[in-house]
Structures are given as C-alpha cells and as structure tokens.
C-alpha cells in the first residue's frame, strides 16, 4: 500500500446530527478532548464570561448558545485521522445540515434519553436514510431521568424506519444510573461522575459472571433488573450485522452521558471500527474511487467573514479522491479555469492551520475571491467531470428587504449577495416592477434574525424586513421562457434568483396547478439546481 492509499485508509469523515439541546456540541468537544485537540471543554450555555463551545465560532452563536453554521473539526485519535462535521441542530438551519451530509461518509445521531426522537431528528434522519448514509446512535444524558430503554429503541425503529442493535445497555438512569452493560464482552462499566471538562474518569470494568462483584457495584435490584433485560434483549433485538450497518439499514445504539464523559470514548472506539474509509463518489463519468484516482473535490459550503480582521470568504470542500498538494494546479470545472487554490487551510472553529497536503476524506477551506458556488467540482487540469449537484431547498418564508441608509447601497448589495452565496438565504429580484428591490427567502424564520445581525455587525448596514405572504416557490425549468406571455394568478409574483433563473412565488398551494393548467408545456420544479 503506497503512502496515499495508507493516508486515505485511516481517514474517517462523519457528521453529527441531533435535535437542539440533545448534547451534540458537548459530544463533539469530548471527542476532541480524547484526540488531544483541545485541553478543556467549553460550555455552550452560560453567562457571557463562560467558555464557549469550540465548534461555535460566530458571535450570534455565542450569544444565543446555539449552533447556526456547520463547523469542521479535524483531530488524530489512535492512528485515525478524524474529520467531524458538526451541524446546527436548530431546524431553521436544516439546509446547512443537508449540504453537510453530502460531504460525510456516515452520521452520528445524538438523542436525548429523556425526550426520545424529536422533530428535527426525524427530518435529518430521513435524509440519511434517503442517501443510505450509515447511522450510529448515541443516546445521551443517561445521568438524567430517561425514558424506558426498550421504548426508546422502539421509537427509533417506528419513527425512523431503521432496525436497532444496542451495542451496550444502560443500567438505570438519572440518580439510579449505575453504568452500562457491554454486550459483546459481557462486562459492566460502572458510572462515575467525572470532573466536567476533563477526559479523566474512573471507568471500572467488571465481568457479569462475577456476581458478587457486580452486586457490590450496582446493587441487587439493578442486577436482577439487568438480568431480565438482557434476556429480553437477546431475544428481541436485531443481530449485529456490519454489512447492514454500512448499508444504512441497521443502526448500532450506544448509551452514555457526554457531559460527564461517560461512555464517550467507548463509543468512539466502537464507531471507528465499524465505519468505513472514504467512500467512492458519483460523478457524470461514473463512480470516482478515492484511492486510485488523482485529486478531485467538491464545494459543499461557503462562509464569509470567518475572520473579522480580514473580512475573508472561505469555500469548504470535501476531497473525494487522491492527494491535494498546496503547490498543484487544479481545474475549477464550473468556472472553466485552471488555478492554484489560495491559502488552503484546515479549520478548527475560528482557528486555522495552513496545509501543505490533504487526502481523500479530508475537508479543507480555501480562500474564495467570489468564484466558487456550492456544488462546484475541482479536479486535475487534464480532467473534466462533475460531481452530482447539491439540491437547493425551497424557502418557506419570504420578506422584502429595505436598507435604512440608501448611501450604503454598495455595502448592502455586497453583504446580502455574499450571505446568499453561502446558501443560508436565497435572494430574489422582482420582475416587471422596475425597482431594484430584493426579496429574501429562508427555510426557517430564525435565518432572518441571523441575516439582520450579520449585515449590521459584518457590513455595518441596517435593514428592515417586511414579511411577505408567499409560502410556495417554483423554478421554471423551460429553456428561455417568455415570462411576458405567462398567464398567472392574482397571488403570483415573478422573480429571478441569484443566477438570473426565473421563479414564481405563490401564496396559495392550489395556484401552482392553476398556472400549469393555463400555460401548456410549462415545467415547474420545487428544487433549484446548484
């Protein structure tokens, strides 16, 4: 095996998804602690003076204690090079999460043991199932009162339509949480509340066959209940099947408490053994093998103003094949240019490290002078192929944007265009009005707050948002449509998007069909192509 194959084989790239407050960011930080990437975990919640989670870098995230952008974190652990894509949990930022899942090879789903499967988990999980992404489940917060374990598994199976295979099993929860039973080794890992923010914890392991020692550790009541549950479990749960896990048909389930570090390292060790090396990706020329093909990558995220001092813009790309070398020239397929990537870097929240090389499976950030778009492909100069595009999700909320100071038109247009190019919002221009007014569309209303905040803080522009009644959007798929002859409805508005593509906005869902009936041959789509 040559060096490139060797480096690729030790890469693991996964996304962490969950409902808000399930403990996803805390779990991410504990992984980083075990990898030695950070020495002390921050706290997502807390006063302004408290440490903030390392993966939350944007000011508004620190103020509100929620993640609104995906962070990319890389660390080494036990010979593996791990790339974590930490995603926003809040449903108003789900589009960012969808795009991030396109760059991952597997997903870790964090569930709050006291709440079970929540709305956002359901939505994101379905995207994973649709893409056949292997899913690993970590049921968190077992040190607090949790739902019945069998009910939790049943809920995952019914709500998300995937079989479960518990790798370990909790012994009680809340004040009665004694630890977990490891099924494969028939051992008990006893729970102790470690000092928060450190990785050191006492994890005493006892064989289940040593009845006296187990009784001493967890008590006779917990021991009797555990024996009953093991019997039930062995008869009822799905068999461990690695092929089914890797095909996204079976999810291994682990239990623990990220806040107290209990069960986190055990989960990480199992997870790394079960996940695969970087997977092949589909392009318009077929499957691209990570190890045998030269460098190629695709852009899945663009983020402006990550560094306040430089007001820069970073394009994040997933390397799909081969090795990237900072001195090499690459082809930007959509831009039709051969170029050197500027300032290639590995980003850990808001800190950066300039890279000399990177391999398939890695996520790198490069300086973007405004030429990249989400979904763009990069490959070697003599090649030309495209990876499958990332769909643009239809916004569900719309508002007209008015700038308060007309003298700042230039900053306003630059700011709103850059934020739109990141994919967080979509901007539209009205047709037939003669006015240069901008309409903004978002998947979740919290995005409006983020837009207002960022324009004010990053571009020094004040705006006023006027909500619009539109709820439905359709892209016109016909080539060069004559919009002047389009027969519409009274609740319809004609607009163009950032790429000058024509779209229709509607207030009522039935108007879509009426417009199709009135215009023979018209083709409308719910998704825009990236």
What DSSP string runs through 95-117? Answer: HHHHHHHHT-SEEEEEEETTT-S
Percent of the chain with pLDDT over 90: 42
Instruction: Identify which has the larger pLDDT, 502 or 431.
Output: 502
pLDDT at 66: 42
pLDDT at 528: 62
Tokens of 482: 């004559």
Dump the DSSP string for 266-313: HHHHHHHHHSPSPPPEEEBTEEE-TTTS--EEEEEEEEE-SSTTTT-E
Tokens of 306: 């990550």
| Sole residue written with tokens 């903030």 | 52
User: Best-predicted range by mean pLDDT among 35-39, 103-107, 202-206, 213-217?
Assistant: 103-107
C-alpha to C-alpha distance for 381 and 338, rounded to whole angstroms = 6
pLDDT at 303: 77
The set of residues, in sequence order, having a beta carbon less than 8 Å from that of 234 and lying 6+ positions away, is none
Mean pLDDT of the chain: 83
Pairing status of strand 438-442 against strand 397-403 = antiparallel
pLDDT at 70: 43
**Tens digits of per-residue pLDDT, 220-255?**
899 899 999 999 988 777 889 999 999 999 999 999
Tokens of 488: 């519409």
Lowest mean pLDDT across 144-158, 231-245, 269-283, 339-353: 339-353
Pairing status of strand 472-476 against strand 524-525 = antiparallel
Does the structure show a pLDDT above 80 at 130?
A: no
Does the structure show a pLDDT above 60 at 65?
A: no
Instruction: Identify which has the larger pLDDT, 97 or 373.
Output: 373
Does the structure show a pLDDT above 90 at 271?
A: yes
pLDDT at 63: 54
457 φψ region: left (φ > 0), alpha (ψ -120 to 50), beta (else): alpha
Tokens of 445: 């209303």
C-alpha to C-alpha distance for 107 and 436, rounded to whole angstroms = 43
Domains, the chain, with CATH or none: 13-71+87-274 (3.40.50.300), 281-379 (2.40.30.10), 397-525 (3.30.70.3280)
What per-residue string of b and e applies to 27-52 under the rule 16 or more CB within 10 Å gives b? bbbbbbbbbebbeebbbbeeeeeeeb
Does the structure show a pLDDT above 90 at 297?
A: yes
C-alpha pair distances (Å), 340 with each of 315, 318, 344, 443: 14, 17, 10, 35
pLDDT at 57: 41
Mean pLDDT within 343-350: 70
Does the structure show a pLDDT above 50 at 50?
A: no
Instruction: Identify which has the larger pLDDT, 164 or 23.
Output: 164
- Answer whether 19's CB lies under 8 Å from 112's CB: yes
- Answer whether 367's CB lies under 8 Å from 407's CB: no
**Tens digits of per-residue pLDDT, 318-333?**
999 999 999 999 999 9
Strands of 179-182's sheet, edge to edge? Answer: 168-171, 179-182, 187-190, 205-207
Does the structure show a pLDDT above 50 at 49?
A: no
Mean pLDDT within 427-439: 76
The set of residues, in sequence order, having a beta carbon less than 8 Å from that of 5 and lying 6+ positions away, is 291
C-alpha to C-alpha distance for 409 and 259, rounded to whole angstroms = 47
Number of other residues whose CB lies within 10 A of the CB of residue 483: 14
Mean pLDDT within 443-453: 80
pLDDT at 409: 87
C-alpha pair distances (Å), 3 with each of 310, 328, 344, 363, 411: 36, 18, 21, 19, 47
Does the structure show a pLDDT above 60 at 499?
A: yes
The set of residues, in sequence order, having a beta carbon less than 8 Å from that of 12 and lying 6+ positions away, is 80, 81, 82, 83, 105, 106, 272, 275, 277, 361
């Amino acid at each position: 095996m040559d060096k490139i194959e060797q480096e690729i084989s030790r890469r693991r790239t996964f996304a962490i998804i969950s409902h808000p407050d399930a403990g996803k960011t805390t779990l991410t930080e504990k992984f980083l602690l075990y990898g030695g990437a950070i020495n002390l975990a921050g706290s997502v919640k807390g006063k302004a003076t408290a440490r903030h989670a390392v993966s939350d870098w944007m000011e508004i995230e620190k103020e509100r204690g929620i993640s609104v952008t995906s962070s990319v974190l890389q660390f080494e652990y036990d010979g593996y090079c791990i790339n974590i894509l930490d995603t926003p949990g809040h449903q108003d930022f789900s589009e960012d999460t969808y795009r991030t899942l396109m760059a991952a090879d597997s997903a870790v789903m964090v569930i709050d043991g006291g709440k079970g499967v929540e709305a956002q988990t359901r939505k994101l999980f379905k995207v994973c199932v649709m893409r056949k992404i292997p899913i690993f489940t970590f049921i968190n917060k077992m040190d607090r009162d949790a739902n019945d374990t069998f009910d939790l598994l049943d809920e995952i199976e019914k709500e998300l339509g995937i079989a479960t295979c518990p790798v370990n099993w909790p012994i009680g929860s809340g004040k009665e949480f004694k630890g977990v039973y490891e099924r494969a080794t028939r051992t008990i890992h006893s729970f102790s509340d470690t000092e928060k923010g450190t990785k050191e914890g006492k994890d005493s392991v006892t064989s289940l066959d040593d009845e006296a020692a187990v009784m001493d550790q967890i008590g006779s009541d917990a021991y009797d209940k555990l024996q009953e549950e093991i019997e039930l479990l062995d008869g009822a749960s799905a068999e461990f099947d690695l092929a089914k896990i890797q095909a996204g048909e079976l999810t291994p389930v682990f239990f623990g408490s990220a806040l107290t570090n209990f069960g986190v390292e055990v989960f990480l060790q199992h997870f790394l053994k079960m996940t695969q090396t970087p997977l092949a990706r589909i392009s318009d020329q077929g499957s691209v093998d990570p190890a045998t093909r030269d460098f190629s990558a695709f852009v899945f995220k663009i983020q402006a103003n990550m560094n306040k001092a430089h007001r820069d813009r970073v394009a994040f790309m997933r390397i799909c094949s081969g090795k990237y070398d900072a001195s090499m020239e690459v082809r930007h397929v959509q831009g039709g240019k051969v170029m050197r990537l500027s300032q290639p870097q590995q980003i850990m929240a808001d800190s950066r490290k300039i890279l000399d090389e990177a391999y398939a499976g890695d996520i790198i950030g490069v300086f973007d002078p405004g030429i990249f778009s989400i979904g763009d492909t990069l490959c070697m100069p003599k090649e030309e192929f495209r990876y499958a595009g990332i769909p643009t999700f239809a916004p569900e909320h719309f508002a007209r944007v008015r700038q308060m100071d007309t003298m700042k038109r230039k900053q306003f247009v630059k700011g709103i265009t850059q934020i739109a190019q990141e994919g967080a919002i979509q901007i539209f221009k009205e047709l037939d009005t003669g006015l240069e007014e901008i309409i903004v569309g978002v998947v979740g209303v919290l995005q409006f707050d983020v837009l207002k905040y960022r324009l004010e803080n990053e571009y020094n522009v004040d705006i006023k948002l006027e909500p619009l009644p539109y709820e439905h959007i359709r892209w016109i798929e016909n080539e060069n449509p004559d919009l002047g002859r389009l027969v519409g409805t009274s609740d319809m508005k004609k607009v163009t998007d950032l790429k000058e593509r024509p779209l229709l906005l509607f207030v009522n869902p039935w108007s879509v069909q009426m417009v199709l009936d009135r215009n023979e041959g018209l083709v409308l789509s719910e998704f825009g192509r990236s």
